[in-house]
Amino acid sequence: KMKRPNKFRMEMEVQGQKMVQAYNGEKGWMLFPGAGSQPQELSGPQLEQAMEQADIDGELYNYEKKGYTAELLGKEFLGDDEVFNIKLTGSDGVEKNYYIGTDDYLVKKVVGKVNSQGQEVTVEQIMSDYENIDGVMVATKIESKSPMGSAVINFKNMNFGAPLDNSIFEKP
């Protein structure tokens, strides 16, 4: 669930237990059964990641206003698909590569480095199963791969403009 400006809440099932991560525009929190029964404040890299996830439009939209620079590295193939390889660099020097289809201009893959448990690791996200929802093409499947393992997120219900109470983004 996302709401402007910069609010998001994600709920998922992990090994049969519900995990919740949220950001209210200023602070983030997470409820993860493996880390106890009380919500934990997000800080450092976890908070930065939550802030990025809360950007409804994504990093590429108005990238310069958000403090990024973009560089077209060229075209290449991702499987059978020809893609543009665009390097996006944040004001902090962190780089991500976006692979965007040359025929449909949809993001196929994003590769970047994140800090996880004190170590820098490469994370790859593969977007697929795009659907037209209210005139916007949205990936309904995102596969995330890293040295820590893989996860697949399948979005079942998506709609835009649904009313959301601000309280769902607040730490309980």
- The whole-number pLDDT of residue 82 equals 98
Question: pLDDT band at 19, cuts 50/70/90?
Answer: confident
Q: How far apart are CA 52 and CA 100, in angstroms?
A: 19
In percent, the amount of the chain with pLDDT more than 70 equals 98
Task: Using CB atoms within 10 Å of the CB of residue 12, give its burial: 0 to 12 exposed, 13 to 18 middle, 19+ buried.
Answer: exposed
Q: How far apart are CA 11 and CA 155, in angstroms?
A: 11
C-alpha closest to that of 28 among 45, 51, 11: 51
- The whole-number pLDDT of residue 133 equals 87
- The whole-number pLDDT of residue 67 equals 92
More confident residue, 96 or 37: 96
CB contact at 8 A, 23 and 42: yes
Question: Three-state SS across 101-144?
Answer: ECCCCCEEEEEEEEEECCEEEEEEEEEEEEEEECCEEEEEEEEE
- The whole-number pLDDT of residue 56 equals 80
- The whole-number pLDDT of residue 17 equals 79
- The whole-number pLDDT of residue 28 equals 92
100-153: pLDDT as tens digits: 999 999 999 999 987 777 788 899 999 999 999 888 899 999 999 988 888 888
More confident residue, 36 or 18: 18
- The whole-number pLDDT of residue 169 equals 92
Report CA-CA distances (Å) from 16 to 13, 37, 76: 6, 15, 40
